[in-house]
Structures are given as structure tokens and as C-alpha cells.
Structure 1
Amino acid sequence: MTEQQITAWLTLSMTPRLSGVRLQKILEYLSPQELLSLSKKELYSLKFTESQVRFLTAKSNQNVDKCLEWATKDGNHLLTAEDKDHYPPLLKEIPSFPPTLFVQGEVEILCSTQVGIVGSRNSSQDGLYITRQFSSELTNVGVTITSGLALGVDGHAHQACLEQNGRTIAVLGSGFDFLYPKQHKSLAMRIRENGALVSEFPPFYPPRSYNFPRRNRIISGLSVGVLVVEAAKKSGSLITARFALEQGRDVYAVPGSILNPNAAGCNQLLRDGAILVRDVHDIVHEINGLVNWSSTIQQKAVLSLPLPVKKEEERGQIEAGNQPILDLLGERPVAVDFLAERTHLPVNQVMMQLLELELQGIVASVVGGYIRLRGS
């Protein structure tokens, strides 16, 4: 791809308050380059806000330039959804796929057969043992292990894979200049040498609490299935599992004692229809069919049609459970902690609802929290 094409994708992905759903609707009609060639009048006709039009028509953008400079360094890769050679086809199929990916390491393995392994940051010794066992055995049958580099289950899944000389992918909730958690910096370096680090966030983007639910949709989107090991009832791992189900992926869960709070999430998943697994053979049996399915997925080219005259953008139906949060949002950013306090909901649940609303194009994450988009 040319630098001009990459610049166009970066500019579109960084456009302020542009939701993933809105972005995908735009890409159904216009390529990023075509969009940037439009006049201000045409952009306004497409319902872009004043700040968005100003951003899209700027002659230069320092943040875009920083990303382009980052991509010139050894081991760094900048992918766009238009890159048919390296952008993962499975990820391209999900709702609100990331328009750009920043990658360090072996970019080719993003298209390999992957199983996501997620679970509690405060897992028991039994949970960590189970994690390492599944990760090791899946690695030995040629599966790439994908997880989120978090403490607990994530970190042990990565480590067990590396100990078997396998390949593993860590999906970050920040840019590469702010590896998180800091305790896993050395592990991240090992993954970069024997796999890949992936982020949708520019290198200079710090970790924020609302980044991690977004990160979870990429873990499941890259994978043919997701294994959940020891997850509490309000665990962020359940967000990953929910994304996996919405994306048509299999969800595997390890059962646990009803007396163990860390098993409540997995037991809930099993009650809701997840696949119960006792050993790696239960997963491999399912994967055999999924691998054939994933190999048939082909990337769709971005359509370049004439500029349409569209009616007011349709928005998804707001679930009743999300309404209390939506009622607290306006044009000024509202912090997640404030929303949790006012709604008396756990932070993880608030984050899940905010992400649903963002994917519907109803709210947007900005510096300082979340805002409600106009017309929603």
C-alpha cells in the first residue's frame, strides 16, 4: 500500500467521536482516500460534525505523522483493513473491526489458527495449572495462543505457549509506548520475538480503563474459539466471551465448584450454552471443523460507489438496561467511575454497556470519559 493510502486510513481511524458502526457504514460507500477528497460541504452532507470536518480536511496531522514514523522502524508493522496480505480475514468479519492495527513481531501469524485463552487476574493455583495445561497442549497441536497480556490467566497462557516453543499473540489495551501491565514488560519482549504484539491504539496512546473491553473484541475476533478459565461473575473475561458469541465463535468454559467465586462466571457461561471442556481433546474436536470454516473466509474489498443521498442514520435499538447510563451522558465527558457510582453498577458491567452503546454509534469514548452523540 502507498503512504497516501495508509495516511487516509490512519486519519479516518483517528477522527474524533467517530464510532465503529458509523465508520463501517461509511466504508460501504467510500474508501478512506475518496472520503478525504470530499469538500467540506460534502462532508457536512454526510452528517459529519464541525470538529470532524476540521480534522478530516486538515493539511497535516502530527499524530498521523508519528504513526507513519513508527512504522518505519525495524519489527514494526502498520496494517489497514485494506491490506489483503496481512490483515486477519477473521477479524475483518466482525462488527466494528479495527480499521488499523499496530503490530510488533511476526505479522504473518495473525492469519494463523488461534484460540483465545482468558480468565481471572486473580486466579487460583488450580486455575493457573489448568491454563498452562491447555495452552501447552494446544500449542503442541499447532494452535496459536491469543490473549491479553494481563496478570493471572492471560500471562500464564502466553508463558506456557512460549515454553513449548510455540507462537502466541498478545492484544494490548494501550499503545506500544505504554506497555501494560509493567510487570509483563519482559514477557511482552519474549512474545515479540516469538509471536506478535497487537494493538488498535496508536503507539503514544496510554492505557485507559475503557480501552480493555474494546481490546477484548479483537482477542475473540482473531480466534476460532475462546477458552475461559476461572472467571468471576462480573469478570471482564465474560465480555470477551460475549463478543465471541456475537461474532459466531465457539466459547469453551472450564467448570468449577459452586462454592468458588472465581468459577461463577464459567458456570454461568455453561448454563448459557458454552461448551464444557475437561481436556484439550474437547477443544481440538471442535476446532477441526472451525479451521475448515475459517480457511474459507475471504476479505471483502472496500466498495467505491458514488456518493449516496442517505436518510438520517439509523441507530440500533437501545436495550432497557442501558438506558440509565445513557440518561447520564451528554456533550461533556463523563467518567466511568462516576457512571458506576450513580447507577450502582459494577465498573465491568458499566464498561460492557458503554461498549454496546458505542458499537451502536450512540456514545463515543473521548478524553475524560464518554459522551452521548448528537441525534441519539
Structure 2
Amino acid sequence: MTSRPGRRLTDAERLAWLRLARSAHVGPRTFRELLRLYGSAEAALDALPGLSRRGGDRDFRVFGHDQAEREMAAAARSGIQLTALHEPDYPPLLRETVAPPPLIGIRGLVDALHRPAVALVGARNASIPGLKMAGLLARGLAESGFVTVSGLARGIDTAVHRASLAGGTVAVLAGGHDRIYPPENEPLLEQILATGCAISEMPVGHEPRAKDFPRRNRLIAGLSLGLVVVEAAERSGSLISARLALEENREVFAVPGSPLDPRAAGTNRLLKQGAVLVTGVEDVTGVLAPLVAMGPQRLGAEEQDRPAPVEPADDQRARVLDLLGPVPVAVDDIVRQAGLSVATVRIVLLELELAGRVWRDPAGGAGLL
């Protein structure tokens, strides 16, 4: 097995990472900001109550030690490896995304996450030609040395996983590892684990909700060098995956379909917008071969200089708050208009976010809730 960079967490550190990641209003971006400011999850946990109180929430509760221990024990019983962002087993391409999950649960063969990967997604109510094309592409990619990534949904996802079992495939779950959706794909998942793996950022026992599927889609896009949409209607979740892939500078491919079939409306629109047209596996491998040769870039966030946390004055908080509204504003614009340092503005936004008073858009801007 090839040596991978990174340091494995101790059990105590992993518990602290889990507590921080599960605490209220701590999303992936906020998690990394807290780690950057305080140097460790343990120190960030100590700082959370004060930060949220200064942001306006006096009832903030950190995710409990006992709760985290129970979650870790449940994961261990299910054969789930909880892997942290800077550990060697964490998928390198996912680590390079804008907001990678601090912890992911992995079941199956971890090595599948460290091979070149291509995502294939599409309609749940897929046509017979669409299912056939998905299978042909998946088998061709496996023969070319790629792992396939998909969401274990009905239709195209199922066809992709089945066709690429021999070469290895990754199933990205919207719920916990024990809450498979759809339930009829549980036997397929067991087959996947023999040669590939399944991952989820959700705890054991978490039932997938509608809002969890776009979160899953960002992982599908982030794990892959490129994303192929086989069939997608307008307003399809597969188009969300394509947008997320573009935001992460991944290659987007689309299979053309009949203009008379509404299941092809989304893919045909992607082609009009510049997606790479796919009629065979060579259309995908030809574009991705140079990217495979380059390998993933190394993220140095954990090695950046750590600024000393500051406690802004009340008037500084007020100046930042006055500049916020329902439409997100870029941090640079807030810094310029408020006449404050970047560090001061970032800590004020962190306080407000932990108090549940602001939200952050994909570009990092902040808006009032």
C-alpha cells in the first residue's frame, strides 16, 4: 500500500473533532476556521460558548462528550472508520474542496478512495437506453483504471454501481450507514463493499431527509476528477451535482438525449452550456488522463500561520452587523466598509454564525438569517 501523508488522530483528538463537528451551527467552513484560530478541536470546544454568547446566543450547548462516545461506539460496531480531514485515509480530492466535511464514515476498502475516480449520475426513472449507456460507461471506466462514484439511488446510480463492481465503486450515502435509501439497494451495497466502499458524513441512525441529498451530491462531485450526467430532467438533482462539480473546478460531461424525452432536457441543456459531449468512454478518459497524471494538489491549510484570536469591541461588532442584510456580502467588502482588520471581521462573523444569526454562501460571503 502506498504511504499517504497526514497524521492519525488519537482517540481523544477524534472524540474532540466529532464533538466540534456535531455542535450547533458548526458547518465545514466554520470547523476549519475554528481549527485555524485555536489550533486544535479541544481548544475550539473551550472557546465555543464564549464565541456564541458574544454573537447573541446565551444558551449554546456544545455536543456532549457522552453523545460523541456513543456515536463512536456505534460506528465501531458497524465497521465504520471515522476519518478526519487531515488523516492519511481521507480522500485527497475531497480534501481539496471548498468545504470538505471534517469527518467522514468509511465502510469497505479505503483504497478505493485513493484511486482516480469519475462520478456518474442521472435520473431515477431512467430510460432503458439511459441505463444501458450508464452500464457501458461504468464498465469502460473500470477497464481504464477508474473507480466510479455515485449515490446508490434508483435508476442510473444503481446501473453504474452494478456495472462497475469488478473494478470498484464508491457509494455516497445521504443518511447514516445503517439507513440505506432506497432500502432495496441494501444487497447491492453489500456487494459494493467487497471491492469498493461506502461513505457518509452522517451519524449512524440518521434517516436521510430531502436536504441531505444536495449535501451528498457535493461529496459525489468532490470525490471525482469529473462528473458524467447520463440522463437528467430539468430541476433534477443531477444538475445540482453538475453545478457543484463546476464550482469545484471539476470536468462536467453529459450524454445527449432525444429532445422529445423530458429525461434528457437537463443533459441537453448542460451540453448547450459547454459540458463535454459523451458518446463513449473515450470521451471521458481522453479529457481526464492529463489530470490523473498530475495527481491531487496538496492542501496546506493545517500548516498555515495561526493568528492569535481577538475579541472585538462592541462598537466593532455593531459596525459589522450594520453592514449585513439578507443578501450575502463578501468578507472583503465588509472589511473595506467597516474599516476593520480581516481578523476582526472574521471573528465577528464567526460569533454571529455560531449564534445562528448569519449564514455563509458557497463563496464565503455572509448574510443575516
- How far apart are 1:75 and its partner, in Å? 3.6
Deviation of 1:111 after TM superposition, in Å, equals: 1.9
Of 79, 85, 98, 2:83 maps to: 79
Measure how far apart 1:315 and its partner are. 7.3
- In the other structure, the counterpart of 1:253 is 254
CA-based RMSD of the aligned residues comes to: 2.6
Q: Larger Cα Rg: Structure 1 or Structure 2?
A: 2
1:191-213: CA deviation from partner (whole Å, max 9, x where unpaired): 11211010000012111111001
Q: Is the 8 A contact 2:177 2:205 kept in 1?
A: yes
Q: Residue by residue, what CA displacement relative to the aligned partner does 1:144-195 show, whole Å, maximum 9, x if unpaired?
A: 0000000000011000001xx1110000000012111101000011111211
**Of 124, 128, 141, which aligns to 1:125?**
128
Report the residue type matching 2:171 in the other structure: A
Aligned length, in residue pairs: 322
Higher mean alpha-carbon deviation, 258-267 vs 103-112, is at 103-112
Residue 61 of structure 1: which of 47, 66, 70 is its match?
66
Superposed CA offset, 1:213-241 (max 9, x none): 10000000000000000100111000000
CA distance in 2, matches of 1:302, 1:80: 16
Q: 1:169-318 alignment to 2 at 5 Å?
A: 169-298=170-299, 300-301=301-302, 303=304, 304-309=306-311, 312=320, 318=327
In structure 2, relative to structure 1, the CA distance for the partners of 1:127 and 1:51 (3 Å cut) is farther
Equivalent of 2:58 in 50, 58, 81: 50
Q: Check 1:299–1:140 CA distance in 2 against 1; reply closer, same or farther (3 A cut).
A: farther
Return the letter of the residue paired with 1:148: G
Counterpart mapping for 1:357-376 below 5 A: 359=362, 375-376=368-369
Query: Aligned equivalents of 2:205 and 2:258: distance in 1?
Result: 43
Is the 1:19–1:358 contact (alpha carbons within 8 Å) kept by the matching residues of 2? no
1:35 aligns with 2:44: yes
Farther-moved stretch of structure 1 (279-288 vs 10-19)? 10-19
2:98 pairs with 1:95: yes
1:271 CA displacement:
0.9
Q: Distance in 1 between matches of 2:56 and 2:245?
A: 31
Identity of aligned residues (%): 34
In structure 2, stretches of 5+ residues that fail to align are 1-8, 329-358
Shift of 1:42: 5.3
1:19, CA displacement in angstroms? 3.4
Measured in 1, the distance between the counterparts of 2:98 and 2:71 equals: 25
CA contact (8 A) 1:104 1:197 kept: yes
Query: CA distance change for structure 1 residues 39 and 243 in 2, over 3 Å: closer, same or farther?
Result: closer
TM-score (norm 2): 0.80
After superposition, the C-alpha distances for 1:87-108 in whole angstroms (9 at most, x for unaligned) are: 1121112122111101111112
| 1:55-80 per-position Cα deviation (integer Å, ceiling 9, x unaligned) | 25x5x232x11221134347421101
In structure 2, give the amino acid aligned to 1:61.
D
- Measure the CA separation in 2 of the matches of 1:289 and 1:23: 33
Whole-angstrom CA distance in 2 between matches of 1:21 and 1:306: 19
Name the CA distance, whole Å, in 2 between partners of 1:207 and 1:100. 18
Could you say which residue in structure 1 is the equivalent of 2:342? none
Is 2:93–2:296's contact at 8 Å kept on the other side of the alignment? no
For residues 32 and 49 of structure 1, do their structure 2 counterparts lie closer, same or farther at Cα, with a shift above 3 Å needed?
farther
SS at match of 2:178: helix
Report if aligned partners of 1:109, 1:195 keep a CA contact under 8 Å in 2: yes
- Look up the match of 1:346: none
TM-score normalised over the length of structure 1 = 0.79
User: For the Cα contact (< 8 Å) 2:254–2:267, is it kept in 1?
Assistant: yes
Confirm whether residue 26 of structure 1 aligns to residue 34 of structure 2.
Answer: yes
